Amino acid sequence: MHEPQSITVNDDVRMIPAWSIVAACLAFVLVEYYFWLILPAQHHHPPAALGLRIYFNLSWGILAALYFLMMGYVSKDAPRRGMSTRFWLLICFVMPGGIGAVLYFLLRMPEVSLCPACGTHVQSEFHFCPQCNYQLTASCGNCFRTVRATDQYCTRCGHELASDQTPARLRVLDR
């Protein structure tokens, strides 16, 4: 569907859906509107220095915008990790001051993808599919740690990788 390169380049941008960008812009405008026009009309004490007001008003606006961008990101990121989107959006929405977002990043699961052979959900650190033994990433045939496909020898144990070029699923069939 997409080329691998365009996924890595645009990955972070595409992770934020359009609705959350619109919501973030709206939130920013509303917060600025409130702080510049509504709030000064309600309070009759002399206003603070202009520089300070600009600083605080912009900070609140940016915070409000970030809040919605964060929710957008979570709504896209949670399904990739097999986590409940509704639950985590609620946590991010309810917890004040972005604590929900911090919790999300602390507790989020590894990314989940589909096995190309059988379609089982597999986590990014899996070397083999748990259902069909398909080799998902290049790994050393001796110590089974991840290796780069171009490496000649395992960086951990020195095993010659050329001797196990055949993926494990095919080696089983050879016997």
| Interface residues toward Zn ion, by CB under 5 A | 115, 117-118, 120, 129, 131-132, 134, 140, 142-143, 154, 156-157, 159
Q: Which residues contact 148 (CB under 8 A, 6 or more apart)?
A: 138
Q: Which residues contact 154 (CB under 8 A, 6 or more apart)?
A: 140, 142, 143, 145, 147, 161
Write down the least CB distance from residue 143 to Zn ion, Å: 3
Write down the least CB distance from residue 59 to Zn ion, Å: 49
Q: Which is nearer to Zn ion, 40 or 82 (CB)?
A: 82
Write down the least CB distance from residue 161 to Zn ion, Å: 8
Measured in Å, how far apart are the chain's first and last C-alpha atoms? 36
Distance CA 17, CA 98 (A): 19
Residue 112, beta-bridge partner list = 123
Write down the least CB distance from residue 166 to Zn ion, Å: 16
Q: Which is nearer to Zn ion, 40 or 119 (CB)?
A: 119
Q: Which is nearer to Zn ion, 15 or 138 (CB)?
A: 138
E strand spans, the chain: 112-114, 121-123
Q: Which residues contact 160 (CB under 8 A, 6 or more apart)?
A: 152, 153
Q: Which is nearer to Zn ion, 7 or 132 (CB)?
A: 132
Q: Which is nearer to Zn ion, 54 or 157 (CB)?
A: 157
Helix, strand or coil, per DSSP, at residue 138: coil
Write down the least CB distance from residue 168 to Zn ion, Å: 12
